[in-house]
Structure 1
């Protein structure tokens, strides 16, 4: 029996965020996969599994056509600038096409996504200084949230790669403070370092021409919201606005309607309560989470399993 016959059948969807050199950041905050490691990982995966197209994924998960070998699908979230390099220099020479899920705000408004501003600030700021600066900008009425009894335990379970103190701070940022407050604080912290939102966007994200190139090369541009706010935290009108803006923007840019959605943050707490209703409402055939594991057929197409690259060993 050969190696492929020993592998579990079904579909493995692998997701990537940062692909860059660790040494450029003096402090924790960004945990990238380095470029050489990415190339090695892609080649290793392709030696074991059969790459499948978005159309083949859809046929499999809707029960229309089985996969006769263990299938592999690459996805990239957030529209980071290095994703263009990954497609152009690594995937395309190997004949592989992927799904790139992009939030529209940096492209439409030249306003960086809150999550990346926080990542960058943490990676370039001494930890205690970051914590002190951030907390000094939190409105007084929200400061009490930082010392609630249940925060430490919940934070440790959510942010397993962080120290307890910074896990609690990230929990405050992502679960307790309104997104608009964190967005404003992170922009103010950037400004104090003489970094504007617009310059941050130019250095951090794919531009319109790069996204159009990806689409024309046969990659899929998936939806990732407008502001990267978890869909579960948006009021009905705000969700409608987010989806209308992002879908309209990318349809205008690429000439194609988006049929896949990657839920921002991807975990159970962040996804819509009813993913089937959500996807049908906005015209998506596929919804992608981030809770790991294989897709063996029978899963809801509106919440497929997906594995982050740093958790890949758990799946294979």
Structure 2
């Protein structure tokens, strides 16, 4: 059974007081704006529970009106401190996708090191120059101009200088070099104690267990939050399997789990791995509404929070690509 109504899966990352914080450059949703957005969503949509949304996407639950599902990536403490209480007050439920390495090992994600390096007030042009110096000093790498030709381009909200820093530290450089650079820049510009910073930044197992017991769904965001489409099938399978240790710690079954692709990155081998592991639904960053009963359950599109009021100022692709 299919429905003519669409389902908008809303994607959130940081939800916190931002403007008056130590990190006003962090790109996220102000906690007060989250209240306004929930008002809008409740007035405009049927806000589904995860279970009902998955049933609708499967085509088993007809939708009487346009509906939405709330999803939250990366396991930030924001979600426990600012999101969870607000959802509880409204009797709304969402899916939360914490990487196992952050929740269990208190490991700073590479993407978050980059976020805070850029949010700490450092000039992205100067950061790019420091990266170029490291490239020149590293044997066997092309000249910095080669990297700049490919990666120094504005995209979405970000300037070319910001995108260059992001791409170079995310995936363009060899893994050992980019991690060394990210660690050094993080220590210089953010904190010399990454472990303590991670303790404050991410939910812990007790937080996630409380949210799960309150009726929210905890899904997998992988073990190490890596670009899956840059890995072979065995390594992808290992990363996904290792993420199940978080389910074990929370006291959840590993079967019939949901998954969210880190960086929106996956390929056919990822899909095969998830299918073999009995994943019931997997979420992408493809910026579209989902059509229940027709979209593949392992390639569910989502829309960024900025597409909706009170922001509603960005084209869907701008924050999701």
Q: Match of 2:276?
A: 281
Q: What is the CA–CA distance in structure 2 between the aligned matches of 1:199 and 1:271, rounded to whole Å?
A: 31
CA contact (8 A) 1:173 1:182 kept: yes
Give the match for residue 220 of structure 1.
217
**Which residue matches 1:3?**
none
Q: Which runs of 5+ in 2 are unaligned?
A: 317-321
- Contact 1:121 / 1:130 at 8 angstroms: preserved in 2? no
Matches within 5 A, 1:190-209: 190-192=186-188, 194-209=191-206
SS in 1 for 2:63: coil
State the match for 2:49 in structure 1. Answer: 53
Deviations 1:253-301 (A, max 9, x none): 23332611000011xxx22235542321222110100111211220001
State the match for 1:141 in structure 2: 139
Rounded Cα–Cα distance in structure 2 between residues aligned with 1:293 and 1:44 = 19
- In structure 2, C-alpha distance between the alignment counterparts of 1:136 and 1:254, rounded to whole Å: 47
Q: 1:65 to 1:264 in 2, by over 3 A?
A: same
SS for the counterpart of 1:69 is: coil
Once the two structures are superposed, what CA deviation does each residue of 1:183-236 show, in whole Å capped at 9, x if it has no partner?
232222333455222111111111111011111111111110111111111233
Equivalent position to 1:293, from 288, 293, 311:
288
1:145–1:68 CA distance, 2 compared to 1 (3 A): farther
Coordinate RMSD, CA, aligned: 2.4
For residues 291 and 210 of structure 1, the distance between their equivalents in structure 2, rounded to whole angstroms, comes to: 29
Q: Map 1:48-197; keep pairs closer than 5 Å.
A: 48-127=44-123, 128-138=125-135, 140-141=138-139, 144=142, 146-148=144-146, 151-152=149-150, 156=153, 159-192=155-188, 194-197=191-194
**Normalising to structure 2: TM-score of the pair?**
0.85
Q: Is the contact between residue 262 and residue 288 of structure 1 (CA under 8 Å) also seen in structure 2? A: yes
SS at match of 2:262: coil
Distance 1:149 1:100, change over 3 A: closer
Distance verdict in 2 for CA 1:179–1:91, change over 3 Å? farther
- In 2, Cα distance between the equivalents of 1:165 and 1:129? 9
TM-score normalised to the size of structure 1? 0.86
Aligned residue pair count = 302
**Where in structure 1 are there 5+ consecutive unaligned residues?**
1-7
Deviation at 1:145, TM superposition (A): 6.0
Indicate yes or no: 2:230 matched with 1:233. yes
> Counterpart of 2:319?
none
The answer as to 2:274 corresponding to 1:260 is no
Deviation at 1:155, TM superposition (A): 5.4
Counterpart of 1:248? 245
Distance 1:309 1:94, change over 3 A: same
CA distance in 2, matches of 1:117, 1:67: 41
Distance in 2, matches of 1:282 and 1:164, equals 40
Moved more, 233-242 or 38-47: 233-242
Flag the 1:155–1:72 CA change in 2: closer, same or farther, 3 A. Answer: farther
Deviation per CA, 1:50-86: give whole Å up to 9, x if none: 0112221222122222111111100000001101123
